[in-house]
Structure 1
Amino acid sequence: MINIGDKLPSFEGVNQDGKVIKSSKFKGEKLVIFFYPKANTPGCTAEACSLSDNYAELKNGGYEILGISADSVEKQKKFQDKFLFPYDLIADESRNIIDKFGVWQLKKFMGKEYMGIVRTTFIFDENGICTRIIDKVKTKEHAAQILNQI
């Protein structure tokens, strides 16, 4: 997993509109990357909407936002269209980015174990250095978790 002090890994992924987004696009900018398990599920919707509802405040703090899951471009598009998020959602079906960040891990739910994305947010400064990791995400209050520390 990426640790505090690590540099933003080089990556590229396809957003909800089929456009390639490269990590180099964010050079010189502060960046919030949130990994979520599945588009259009209650927890992921609450998290993404919390960030969307507070987007202006995050932007005023100089932050760009990027959401990433293993969903398809079509699922990301439906999620984007339904909630009109003002930031890109990356479809990482091959898990290239997910694996670089180390968020594909063993999970447990109702006595069953399976592999999946562990909901995690990484915050990078304008030099591309990870300054904070939120691994205990409160979905409905996620923007406040970020804003209270920046």
Structure 2
Amino acid sequence: MTEVSTIQLNLGDKAPDFHLPRDGGGDVRLADFAGKPLVVYFYPKDDTTACTTESISFTALAPEFHKAGIAILGVSPDSVKSHDKFVRKHALSIPLASDEEKTMAIAYGVWREKSMYGRTYMGVVRSTFLIGADGLIARIWDKVKVAGHAEDVLAAAKEL
């Protein structure tokens, strides 16, 4: 059984390190983004309505993030195989990390108890972290509402 996340990151905290497999093969680690701002968005599940909308929104704005020197990484507990299918189906350009063991979700404090229709269960709380070029947490969005979120993140990232 995966433990519940009791960690709560705050602004100015050092971003927790990670090393995970990613879509398309290979892996991704925090060190890959050293010296540049990074947006990490955690989402619950590939190919569900809100998660698809969020990933498509970040993909649509990816050229603007890139032009501003800001990297983006999506993270969910889905497998690499699931990510590959999700990327192909929706022509996503954002790298997606597979956190099947929930180690990154726990480290970032987003693996928490959730409830729906009176049932409680463990899952990823949709959250986004803006990590500055210095490796410190510059901004946190918790319990994200998808509409307009990618645009808000882009605006905040450009202010770094």
State the TM-score, normalizing by the size of structure 2: 0.89
**CA deviation after TM superposition for structure 1 residue 138, in Å:** 2.5
Structure 1 segment 4-83 matched on structure 2, within 5 A: 4-83=11-90
CA distance in 2, matches of 1:104, 1:58: 27
Aligned-residue sequence identity (percent) comes to 38
Instruction: Indicate if the aligned counterparts of 1:34 and 1:122 stay in contact, CA closer than 8 A.
Output: yes
Q: Deviations over 1:40-81 (max 9, x none)?
A: 000000111111111111122221000000001111111111
CA distance in 1, matches of 2:46, 2:23: 11
**1:109 aligns with one of 116, 127, 132:** 116
Instruction: Indicate if the aligned counterparts of 1:47 and 1:138 stay in contact, CA closer than 8 A.
Output: no
**1:121 aligns with one of 124, 128, 132:** 128
Partner SS for 2:40? strand
Instruction: Indicate if the aligned counterparts of 1:69 and 1:90 stay in contact, CA closer than 8 A.
Output: yes
Structure 1 or 2: more strand by fraction: 1
Aligned partner of 1:138 in structure 2 is 145
Partner SS for 2:148? helix
Structure 1 segment 80-95 matched on structure 2, within 5 A: 80-95=87-102
Q: Deviations over 1:71-129 (max 9, x none)?
A: 01111111111122222101110111111111000101111111100000000111111
CA distance in 2, matches of 1:124, 1:4: 9
CA distance in 2, matches of 1:140, 1:62: 24
* Over 4 Å off, 4+ runs: none
Partner SS for 1:78? helix
Q: Structure 1: which 5+ residue stretches go unaligned?
A: none
Instruction: Indicate if the aligned counterparts of 1:47 and 1:141 stay in contact, CA closer than 8 A.
Output: no
Instruction: Indicate if the aligned counterparts of 1:34 and 1:119 stay in contact, CA closer than 8 A.
Output: yes
Q: Structure 2: which 5+ residue stretches go unaligned?
A: 1-7
CA distance in 1, matches of 2:143, 2:113: 16
